[in-house]
Amino acid sequence: MNIGVINESCKIENRVGLSPSSVSLLTEKEHTLYVQAGAGLKAGYSNEEYAAQGANIVFTKDEVFGRSDIVLNISPLNEEECQLAKKDQILFGFHHLAVAPKKLLLSLLDKKITIIGYEIIQADDKELSFIESLSEIAGQMCLTIAGQYLQTSQGGRGIIIGGVVTVPPATAVIIGSGVLARSAVKALLGAGAHTIVLGRYIDRMRDLEDMTGGRLITMMATKYNLSRMVNVADILIGAVLRPGEKAPLMVTRDMVKNMKKGSLIIDLAIDQGGCIETSRPTTLEQPVYFEEGIIHYCVPNITSAVSRTSTKVLSNVVTPFLQLIGECGLDEALKRDKSLARGLFVYKGKIAKKNIGERFGLDYQVLKEE
């Protein structure tokens, strides 16, 4: 099987589809790897490291698409990359079709492409393998981000997260109760922040309370509770996820207007459109802006800032799927591994997700589980 790794075109994307370690595993199984020159540089991997593990270094994206049965990308493909995709190819990556332009999807459907989305690959126990692995990283990053942007020099409230004797700690409000929220809770509560979680699943919030020995405050994510807690937040984190769908709007502009000036919003749902009305995508080069007197940090693919760690995580998760497809072919792999089947956005030119078909007004055919 021929597997290609492209040099990401998105300016804010520093990760790469495979690490040299995973390349070595695949070449040992006699798969052929094509890695575009420079693809791993931002993650700290040289062309020579890939070549030493048996990869073929090619110099154009056209070559990668032209020679590969499977192409790995991290950020959603742009228009040029969609045009390079060839008939019957398999595309692995974060595609975020729920917020993608319709014309890009149509161009891929015409080529009978199969699209497998990292963000919707889901195990039998409902675990989102890729998302949850990256969520552990993103949650930890919230502590670093908050520590920086709450400083006076950044326009923040001029407070430290943990507080000191006679001065109370910062208040962190987290919307969501999944792995991303859990990781943020560990980081912020561990740093001494007064931490509040608003979620919709009582069992998950009970688990969070047990994990923290009762030090965490949990509440149901009703409009009433959200409006009250947003008012007291020094740090507001949107950690809401609906796999393969647009993020729900949880915090309105009016709620943001009532926040304390100089407080910080980190919208981790921005990849899926954001869960806060005043959010809009930013970049790692210019990660923040002020809206209603509040600092907004809304960087999609936030874990790209720690590209080497994130690349290793993604690579470790995707490699077994590549090995399975290489061993028995796509159709048999989908039968053997239901989590892979759940990751199908498009199967051989046909939309495989109801919400995507409905969003674009196109026919869809959900793959039946046997």
**CA–CA separation, 35 and 19 (whole Å):** 10
Q: Kindly state the helix (H) or strand (E) to which residue 27 belongs, with its residue range.
A: helix 20-28
Give me the count of residues in the chain.
370
DSSP state of 45: -
Q: Are 99 and 75 in contact (CB under 8 A)?
A: no
**How far, rounded to the nearest angstrom, does the alpha carbon of residue 79 sit from its chain's CA centroid?**
21
Which residues of the chain are under the pLDDT cut of 70? 244, 368-370
**CA–CA separation, 95 and 117 (whole Å):** 6
First-to-final CA distance of the chain: 26
Global confidence as pTM: 0.84
DSSP three-state, residue 229? helix
Q: Are 251 and 229 in contact (CB under 8 A)?
A: no
β 194-199/171-175 pair status: parallel
Q: Are 157 and 150 in contact (CB under 8 A)?
A: yes
What is the DSSP secondary-structure string of 273-306? Answer: T-SBTT-----SSS-EEEETTEEEE--TTGGGGG
DSSP three-state, residue 15? coil
**pLDDT value, residue 370:** 47
Q: Are 31 and 42 in contact (CB under 8 A)?
A: no
Provide the CB-side half-sphere exposure for 314 (13 A, CA). Answer: 28
Domains and their CATH numbers in the chain: 2-126+307-360 (3.40.50.720), 132-300 (3.40.50.720)
pLDDT digit string (tens) for 350-365?
A: 999 998 999 899 999 8
**How far, rounded to the nearest angstrom, does the alpha carbon of residue 8 sit from its chain's CA centroid?**
15
Q: What angle do CA 152, 158, 159 make, to 5 degrees?
A: 150
**CA–CA separation, 190 and 359 (whole Å):** 41
**How far, rounded to the nearest angstrom, does the alpha carbon of residue 64 sit from its chain's CA centroid?**
24
**CA–CA separation, 364 and 355 (whole Å):** 9
Tokens of 169: 């700690």
Torsion sign (Cα): 322, 311, 5, 50: negative
Tokens of 18: 């495979």
Which among 317, 315, 305 is positioned nearest to 140, based on CA atoms? 305
DSSP three-state, residue 259? coil
**pLDDT value, residue 369:** 57
Neighbour order of strands in the sheet with 294-297: 217-220, 194-199, 171-175, 235-238, 264-267, 294-297, 288-291
Q: What angle do CA 203, 200, 162 make, to 5 degrees?
A: 85
Tokens of 53: 């593990």
**pLDDT value, residue 58:** 97
For the annotated catalytic residues, the residue numbers are 96, 271
**CA–CA separation, 338 and 124 (whole Å):** 8
β 264-267/294-297 pair status: parallel
Cα–Cα distances (Å) from 174 to 189, 226, 306, in that order, read 11, 10, 22
**pLDDT value, residue 313:** 96
